[in-house]
Structure 1
């Protein structure tokens, strides 16, 4: 499956990701060697079953024709093995042809050995199960239909199984019930396994995007610290150059041909000092080293700064209510998880607010509760219970939403790593509200 994800956050109506959603599994998911190995195991099992039934149990099977079917499967597998490296991955179409052939070969073998009277008829479910777990929805549907057709055909036409008791045969009603059970089981397995596998794949892609966001935040923090260190190290030699340039400018006579050059050197050294000073200051404004502790209000201001709008008023309130009477607000670490997760939710609120965003932080005995409220349109009521699910799709009234949920999912996942829980709601007076709660310990221990 291909997935191209933009780590842009937003309300339910904002585009949060872009991916191929035609099916959860497209080309490149199944290794050629895996299907070849499965087929060799199936061929070995078929040979053992045929020989044991024919020679061990004494059933007179059409062994020649049955061995032709198994031999054809072996030849096809040899040909498939030579077509490419075992580590190469098959496209959805190639894997479908693999499994489709296996289904037809198994149906032919069952036709020769009693049809649905053969207890191994249950193996018809195997190719459909593999497809549902790894291939696309369309491929799985085609293979499921092919399996159902095979079940129906085998229930009506097949060579009789040579029972030891002459004239013995299963009741037609039993065969009909068995056919119905196999057909329904095929459909159920296809739908159930496909749904579970799709959810697992979605979660895997969303967690990968979350890790990418965290890695990026850590790289930005590390780069800021590196810039500050470089500015500090370069400051001393640059200061020496400036001092020497000033002394040269003072000692040179007014009519010296080097006067202009020295003045240029002095002005450029001052310019470099200004650049280094700004580099050293930026980490302090934008986050500093990753785990420095700051006040909650400062943390909110620095995470909201890149997303501020001139037409939206951002107000921040911090309140401390401790049972011991201590009114000093603890500090929180500037961890990448907090910076990116909180920044995503603040960007969300600022982007969709009409004119006001209110952030309130309440400390109570080491527990921090933060609410982010805006006066925008709020979350879509029909999607409110599903926001935060990866790749939630749907339309937001007037917003042109396409793919939703990934940004909020990333924010929730990152904040959960710090011990926080996130809840989303719509305000009674209009607008959206996000509540973030940290229990006692994860943040208060860092001050």
Structure 2
């Protein structure tokens, strides 16, 4: 035992050691601001994701397809009425309207291809042009008496699905005004001199054809529009989920980095004390006590390396977390370190990677692999296997165990926070971090159960991402 005076002197020396000028709370506060600003930037990026523009682009393509359908339908209908039914129509002027629609469609295809973004107002203009073309054709073929006036409802329905309320009502006003105008100004149809009953039957047949055409087009195009909207909603939901996961990462980063800063002070104090104890003659003479002090110093150095690793992962010690190495050297050193730290000799390492590749070691990746190995070791103390292999341009690490395997719901929610097979609150964060770190490296994580017992977690990592300078030599 040291006398009180000696302990006080050593504690005073440890408290007066040089530092970087920031207290741990100050450094923690600065880190909190940095991480929060990164989270805000991600939120703004997600909020500005071009989901609406992509949906509007798909819907504009549907309107262009509908216009082609209208062109074909008008050609068939005009030809049938003029040549088959013998009802004369102004083919030149009606053909000019069809030509205008074709020109509009070709121009729209070129315009959409070079347009950076498509707004709802532009969808409204497209629908209004279609209403104008329909009005022109109805004007030339009987006006409001033409049974195909029901096609106005198709435009209104599409507007109600695609546009906001204000734009939809604008389209409703245009169609109503067009219909009223067609009751006052139109070119009458020169029907052949037939009995009233036959004229009536032609009107009914036209109404039936218009109804069927309306129904078919509505089902086809509204269904496809709804599919576009569902895809947009699914994309937004995925973005929100990603934002929530990023928020979890930020909070855990704050907690881990703050704890690392706070632990720095007592660890440094302990390091100074142990160093002074080992230089004291009375303690150095006791062989058993000297061995205990050496073991304590080794454990203390491991704690300091863990704290340093946390700070490196947080980006606060750039240049200390990466060093040039190779795939084989990196994985072999990782296996040795894991075995020594956990006194575990049940980890079997198999390397079938083949020709070695130069990469940069990464502290975060090492912690990720440690996490998966720890999970496997926790449920399978007698056997854990790490297989390193190459698949194309990817490094694949497979960690297998003989534990109970993953529950079906765990496999379905792999990588989601707070979904754990260990049955404790707050569990599941390990695999959540594994999935997110590997995803940041451009890789993927999969898990599967074995037929009899055990499970395998596969980490697929692009060699181009791990390579020094962003490229690698095969």
TM-score, with structure 2 as normaliser = 0.38
**Larger gyration radius, structure 1 or structure 2:** 2
Higher helix share: 2
Greater RCO (CA < 8 Å, at least 6 residues apart): 1
